[in-house]
Chain A
């Protein structure tokens, strides 16, 4: 068996030696460097651009503006574009940081210097800015969302009369939780290299979805998708920001066409803040109603997130309340607050990430009010079926996750009161974890060669999640060959189409397609050997009836048939798996924090995450995913915020010094990741579900709950910074 084994990453040697190639590492003959100039006002229009200074810079070849760019052949409307407009198509400025010019030069130094010399004149108009962070203002500014393609659920959902139930409930919680805008900050800034050969476009890209880039760029130029090839060898972290097509990808392709030369644009860190996505500011009004024993009678969850003047990206935080607890009534609403800001997008973990911050903080407040152990409160409201729809779960072992996590942490034996360790006050807290299940259609091809080696091909992407290792593992399992005998080809639109690498979807979708393709190879081989495909198994380069002593060598079968290889194809169609079932991933996170109340310091001491996610294909890479999620949760809880400056209409700091993300010293090694034993065959034939985002949910609430335990301070606005702790 390869599945379930903690194989070390197959991409290890190339990544630790620096030989793995990311987009900005590539160059093409005769390539130009592109550097972007962005708007310094949030609303208005461009009245003139003086290119003179830039053109005087030795090495600058061209400065492209809206007057130079070809118009899109198909209107830009919704995904796969990250925003429903493309810059440099007109003179309008819709947010600070929007691209207003592109400088092309022979050297990076010249392009960067040239970009600083482009003089843009504007006619500003009055910009709409985010309102002050207070519920009445936010509530007043909020509007029902327009669907331009950036939300995927009904903006309102209700079951029973939750408002009535809350009004008459003996125990209630009515609180507002907020969190600031935060950026993904992958270590690799987005980059693209575009080159044309006649009417055929090749794009090397830092992306989570090569096929989306292919479709979008084909539409932009009015050429068939087959004329656009998108290649993504490795993407240096993404977390959602590379999921849709950003301005730079379109502009590089347009510029390469105009210049008649390949163009590479590697974004600056500031560019990442100027015009790419982020998780917007989210304000959530939570209501819980419960009886004296803590049994929920209703949940209300009213969410408002920042959106743009052109599109309403909706952060589906109500998904948390919709799926976690058994409740007879619920009322959920999502709205948008529009402003002249850059377009938000999904970020690890979207929806439930923010939603669980509010819900699991409110549950802790309820537990405190009831004098109940917060874990018991959760168990008392355990949802045996989907609380919104009543549908059965495809699989759910959250009770096991709670219990095993509690045992590993020592939750049941924990001190009731916080304790002192020097100047630190130590507190503990817990929360549930929850994430939706997204599945996308995918196809794969497997070729088994006469020498016993195999090639697995599917157009998925490597963003670091472990697919370069687990997909070969899945194929190796079926073909009975070592993982080392498998060559994995991915990241290229010339390969069978795979889904995006976001939404914690790859194992279920692409993994199932690889599994099916490998099984197709085995079936074909069985028939060639006159065996019944349903009864065979493969091992050590041979195929035979399961349990039988007799087996046949793959090489012999192929040689007799005069074939050099057998080609199998497979696909995953989510509509054919698990219809009628609700699918989620679940977990519990327990944390111990230290607070120095005089100095306003908050530090993580240890954590246990325990998860119900179906089968684990590779415990080593899976652990990394969940651990990473926990660290993301810590960042959300303790430090991450992209401060927005309303008088200038911009994120104040567009860099990694003015914006804090966790460093090594913040993260103790005493973090345990535990998976309950589970197989979910309804979600996918792999038996597993998504794990990339779940770990980041619940953590912020668990931390805030631990801070409350330690200090008696209930923090409802993230992040939990010194200012709030000494207040």
Chain B
């Protein structure tokens, strides 16, 4: 790691005041930032430690339904919280599958969406040609090893995917990220948090410099929800493809469906078309569900080695709908 100066925020105001300074980053769980520092992906001059801030790790019920989760809540504490586990199984499952128990004891729910791609070119121990890591240097994965890369929303500047499991669940749940900044608070829909590469793949999310997520709001409970994560190793591995599904059911009929795919694009990918078409369909009608989901992949576009992920993503979504329907509140 290059040298940096370490400061400890005593309060949110303190963090926001200093966080807008040049070459300054925030430190929460540290499970990503320390690796970026070691790899040279981040080279800050100042690191602001947020972990001693108080009052930002609570999980509280919102009046009128829903939950508010403090950004500094550790992943395990979120996943194992009764209200989360019962009301939002998709989130609980996504968190428990996201990393090892040790990592989940460090990582925070507010920090997790900031995870960067697992693209091997981006993560190398030295800088390889990569527009995300070094703008203008090209995308090595476009015609290289891209079997774990995007099938949606990519362009020639970047074909990477966003790997966060919790973020995929949060997108399926229509969660809101509550942020603060020197210039005021904002509420950002989870689905608008990550941004597609465009011409600036190094810009990964909608936050302004110095802006902090302080809480995550979940709307009404989604007990019929499930998270399916596919990978060749059973645990402690990033997804090849994942699917987060939340259903509202009237009897066996689907009255609302929300489906987000993970590790298929630089943001969790909602299957909006399928979500509309699934309304009124029986949750037990596997053939109809499959047909609808397969029909919603019009925008999918394979790279040289990622075509199989299209099939896998369709199958994962179909299966996750079934798992969600069977989840018992």
A-B contact count (CB 8 A): 94
Instruction: Looking at the assembled complex, report how far the CB atom of A287 sits from the nearest CB atom of chain B, in whole angstroms.
Output: 31
Residue numbers in B under 8 Å from A662 (CB-CB) = 233
Q: Does A187 contact B (CB under 8 A)?
A: no
In the bound complex, do residue B3 and residue A648 qualify as a contact, i.e. CB atoms below 8 Å apart? no
Chain B neighbourhood of A40, CB < 8 A: 126
Within 8 A of A (CB), among B136-164: 140, 144-145, 147
Q: Mark B105-128, 1 if CB is under 8 A from A, else 0.
A: 000000000000010110111101
Between A and B, 13 residue pairs with Cβ closer than 8 Å are A40-B126, A423-B319, A599-B230, A601-B232, A648-B128, A648-B140, A653-B120, A653-B123, A657-B118, A658-B123, A660-B232, A663-B233, A722-B230
Residue B316 lies at the interface, judged by CB distance under 8 Å to chain A? yes
Stretch at the interface among A465-473, A553-561, A638-646: A638-646
Known: A664-B235, A721-B232. A658 touches B118 (CB 8 A): yes
**B40 at the A interface (CB under 8 A):** yes
Q: What A residues does B3 contact at CB under 8 A?
A: 57, 113
Interface string of B227-268 (1 = CB under 8 A from A): 010101111111010000000000000000000000000000
Contacts of B147 in A (CB 8 A): 723
B51 within 8 Å of A (CB atoms): no
Shortest beta-carbon contacts, A-B, top 9? A665-B235, A665-B234, A270-B125, A652-B120, A598-B315, A723-B308, A653-B120, A639-B232, A660-B233
Residue of B nearest to A598 (CB): B315
CA of A658 to CA of B315 in the docked complex: distance in angstroms?
A: 24
Interface presence of A202 (CB below 8 A): no
- Asked if A450 is an interface residue, CB under 8 A from chain B, the answer is no
Contacts of B128 in A (CB 8 A): 648
Chain A residues with CB under 8 Å of B145's CB are: 643, 645, 652
Q: Is the CB of B40 within 8 A of A116?
A: yes
Q: How large is the interface on B (under 10, 10 to 19, 20 to 34, 35 or more residues)?
A: 20 to 34
Chain B residues at the A interface, C-beta cutoff of 8 Å: 1-3, 38, 40, 118, 120-121, 123-126, 128, 140, 144-145, 147, 228, 230, 232-238, 240, 308, 311-312, 315-316, 318-319
Inter-chain CA distance A653–B117, complex, in Å, is 13
User: How far in angstroms is the closest Cβ of chain A from B69?
Assistant: 26
Which residues from A are CB-within-8-Å of B124? 652-654
Q: Is the CB of A719 within 8 A of B232?
A: yes
Residue of B40, B128, B233, B240 ringed by the most chain A CB atoms within 10 A? B233
In the bound complex, residues from chain A placing their C-beta under 8 Å from that of B120 are: 643, 645, 652-653, 658
State A719–B147 Cα separation when bound (angstroms).
14
Neighbour of A666 across the interface among B1, B123, B234, B311, CB < 8 A: B234
A647 CA / B146 CA spacing, docked (Å)? 13
Which one of A602, A652, A660, A721 has the greatest number of beta carbons of chain B within 10 Å? A652
Answer yes or no: A404 CB below 8 A from chain B CBs.
no
B234-A116 in contact (CB<8A) = no
A727 within 8 A of B: yes
Min Cβ gap A110→B in Å is 9
CB–CB A726/B312 < 8 A: yes
CB-CB under 8 A from B118, the residues of chain A are 657-658
Cα–Cα, bound, A662→B236 (Å): 10
A462 CA to B3 CA, complexed, in Å: 39
Given contacts A268-B125, A601-B230, 7 further A-B contacts (CB under 8 A): A599-B228, A599-B312, A639-B233, A657-B237, A663-B236, A665-B235, A722-B230
Q: Is the CB of A722 within 8 A of B234?
A: no
Mark A residues whose CB is within 8 Å of B.
40, 57, 109, 112-113, 116, 268, 270, 423, 598-603, 638-639, 643, 645, 647-648, 652-655, 657-658, 660, 662-666, 719, 721-723, 726-727
> Which B residues are CB-close (under 8 A) to A116?
2, 40
Report which of B1, B237, B308 forms a contact with A726, defined as CB distance below 8 A: B308
- CB closest chain-B residue, reference A116: B40
The reply to whether A722 and B1 form a contact with Cβ atoms under 8 Å apart is: no
B54 CB to nearest A CB, Å: 30
Chain B residues near A657: list those with CB within 8 A.
118, 123, 237-238
Checking A600, A639, A655 against B312 with a beta-carbon cut-off of 8 angstroms, the contacting residue is A600
User: Nearest Cβ in chain B — how far from A341, in angstroms?
Assistant: 16
Complex: chain A residue closest to B234, CB-CB: A665
User: Which chain A residue shows the least CB distance to B232?
Assistant: A639
CA distance A647 to B145 in the complex (A): 10
Is the pair A647, B1 in contact by a Cβ cutoff of 8 Å? no
8 Å CB contact of A663 from B228, B234, B311, B318: B234
Q: In whole angstroms, how far apart are the Cα atoms of A157 and B38 in the complex?
A: 50
Query: What are the residues of chain A within 8 A of B318 when measuring CB–CB?
Result: 598
Report how far A657 CA is from B98 CA in the complex, Å: 13
Which B residues lie within 8 Å of A653 (CB)?
A: 120, 123-124
Residues on B with beta carbons closer than 8 Å to the beta carbon of A57: 3
Q: How far is the CB of B263 from chain A (nearest CB, A)?
A: 12
Which residues of B have CB within 8 Å of A660? 232-233, 237
